[in-house]
Amino acid sequence: MGQEYALTCEAIDIVLSDSPPKAKRLLLGDVLRRMLGADVFASFVCDSSGPYADPVQLDLGDDALRAYHRHFRHVDDLTPKLFARGSASRVSPAVGVSAEFVQDFLHRGGMYHGMNYFPANAGPGSVDLRLWRGRGGRAFTEADARVFRSFGDLVSRTWPRQAPSGQKPLSSREAQVAELVADGYSDKQIAAVLGIAPPTLRTHLSNAFAKTGAANRAALAAHHLRHRQK
């Protein structure tokens, strides 16, 4: 009980401190890992496309973050579901599930039992908290989720919304691709209209995803319609 009380006090002090936002997320993540027996911590800031900007991590690895940004977030159908719940959610994706995100990202990174917090009023600038246990760990309990939720709610109430990192403008070709995606064209049709090879199109799409923070073609289309480039 003494250690749990000390960690609780330490976490509250961090949440209420004047430390820089990224430093506070990392310090809080370290305490939450110790408090809840987790192996991996990550935290993102929500941007116009969802919870994908300005990541920080403990024992996940920068290479894994880069891989997530470049590819895996575009096949990640788990995070949007948890984000929509607006609370602390427990999840243990099953071993043997063929989903690319689970097998090639989560399990390969040693993430088998997770607990993700997204605020109920999530929007651009809001902060999430994510904890994971490895294959040998046990699933998080509802009691764990209550503790995690209490700190997530405290963060949501007391931290000002962060401004996500600025997004680079699309090149003229990337903007053309985004416009055709928004118009409902298939990859084959876009390549034919623009007179480019499929690998070149995939490069333009990947760059457009990265610059806009879009998780998929639908999000890229929505971004283009909101920020139509002239």
Contacts of 225 (CB under 8 A, 6+ apart): 182
Residue 96 has pLDDT above 90, yes or no: no
User: Predicted confidence band at 189 (pLDDT cuts at 50, 70, 90)?
Assistant: very high
User: Predicted confidence band at 50 (pLDDT cuts at 50, 70, 90)?
Assistant: confident
Residue 1 has pLDDT above 60, yes or no: no
The beta-carbon contacts of 101-106 under 8 Å, at least 24 apart in sequence, are: 101/72, 101/75, 101/76, 101/77, 102/78, 104/72, 105/64, 105/67, 105/68, 105/72, 105/76, 106/132
pLDDT over 70, % of the chain: 93
pLDDT digits (tens, 9 = 90+) for 165-183: 555 678 888 889 999 999 9
Question: Distance between CA atoms of 102 and 22, rounded to whole angstroms?
Answer: 27
Residue 97 has pLDDT above 50, yes or no: yes
Q: What residue has token string 């330490």? A: 10
User: Predicted confidence band at 99 (pLDDT cuts at 50, 70, 90)?
Assistant: confident
pLDDT digits (tens, 9 = 90+) for 105-163: 999 999 999 999 999 988 888 999 999 999 999 999 999 999 999 999 999 999 988 76
Q: Give residue 193's pLDDT.
A: 92
Mean pLDDT estimate for the chain = 89
> How far are the Cα atoms of 66, 84, 88, 110, 174 from residue 229, in angstroms, in the given order?
27, 29, 38, 41, 10
Helix (H) or strand (E) holding 31: helix 21-36
Shortest CA distance to 52 belongs to which of 164, 175, 170?
A: 164
Q: 0.85 cut: is pTM over it?
A: no
Span 68-77, average pLDDT: 89
Q: Give residue 227's pLDDT.
A: 62
Question: Distance between CA atoms of 184 and 124, rounded to whole angstroms?
Answer: 27
Tokens at 100, concatenated:
């690319």
Q: Where are the beta strands (DSSP E) in the chain?
A: 40-47, 50-58, 88-91, 113-117, 129-133
- Domains of the chain, CATH where assigned: 2-158 (3.30.450.80), 172-226 (1.10.10.10)
> Do residues 41 and 134 touch, judged by C-beta distance below 8 A?
no
Tokens at 220, concatenated:
């890229």
Q: What residue has token string 């879009």? A: 214
Q: Give residue 230's pLDDT.
A: 38
pLDDT over 90, % of the chain: 63
